[in-house]
Amino acid sequence: MLVHIPNVLTAEDLAYCRKTLEESEWVDGKVTAGDQSAKAKHNLQIPQKSEVALELGDVILRALGQSALFTTVALPLRVFPPLFNRYDAGMQFRSHVDNAIRPLPETNFRIRTDVSSTLFLSDPEEYDGGELIIEDTYGSHSVKLPAGDLVLYPATSLHHVAPVTRGSRWASFFWTQSMVREDAKRTLLYNFDCSIIEVRKNLSDDHPAVLGLTATYHNLVREWAEL
């Protein structure tokens, strides 16, 4: 399931991220790529362990923590520290699938990448091209969002970033290990949750239908969650 979450970053957080990134040093993006994707990847990144990446990553993690939609869509167990990339004119990231397992920097932990995310830091008017194109069983989806908005998609998807032909596209990207590994199950839970929210607009919280649906939602999570 592909989900767009608007306004994950406030205007202040966005301005702070952009200003800090403007003053930072960028390196070749191949540093965090696997073997196949290194050949496909032509962009720049902020070094993963730099203070800037850690500091701005925390700004983003804090914002995600306040997003009920992120929680209900991703059902996060662990979120990889956000990374930052940039495509200037002529840069692109050809078709690839993200690595399944990623070591968490400075720890002995690894995460399984279930959900991939891009948080746009440039507005669509600032560049041409640079669409994130995601393939699924229903075809290709082209994503180009306002700065501060997030897209989540299954990490199992083939995807690419189209060549930027004018300007520069800046983004943060990261992966989430979900409590629910399968996209199909996460999609069912998300749709179920949205329907409960709709029902609660018309029925009181102690109505037997609300109680029953809420109990079933939690019991499905209990059935499917891996912690």
Ligand X SMILES: O=C(O)CCC(=O)C(=O)O
Query: Minimum CB separation from Fe ion for residue 26, in Å?
Result: 18
**x/- site string to ligand X, residues 74 to 93, per CB under 6 A?**
-----------x-------x
Q: How far is the CB of 105 from ligand X (least distance, A)?
A: 16
| Closer by beta carbon to Fe ion, 13 or else 98 | 98
CB of 164 to ligand X, least distance (A): 10
User: Which residues lie closer than 8 Å to 111 by C-beta, 6 or more apart?
Assistant: 78, 80, 101, 102, 104, 175, 176, 177
Q: Is 98 in the site for ligand X (CB under 6 A)?
A: yes
Contacts of 170 (CB under 8 A, 6+ apart): 18, 21, 84, 85, 86, 121, 122
Give the whole-angstrom CA distance, residue 10 versus residue 30: 30
Q: Which does 161 bind (CB under 5 to 8 A by kind): ligand X, Fe ion, none?
A: ligand X
175 binding ligand X? (CB under 6 A): no
Q: Is 148 in contact with 9 (CB distance < 8 Å)?
A: yes
Kind plus residue range of the DSSP H or E element containing 216: helix 208-224
Of 116 and 189, nearer to Fe ion (C-beta) is 116
- Which position among 13, 98, 126, 136 is part of the footprint of Fe ion (CB under 5 A)? 98
Pick out the residues of the known binding site.
96, 98, 159, 169
Give the binding site for ligand X (CB under 6 A). 85, 93, 98, 118, 132, 159, 161, 171, 173
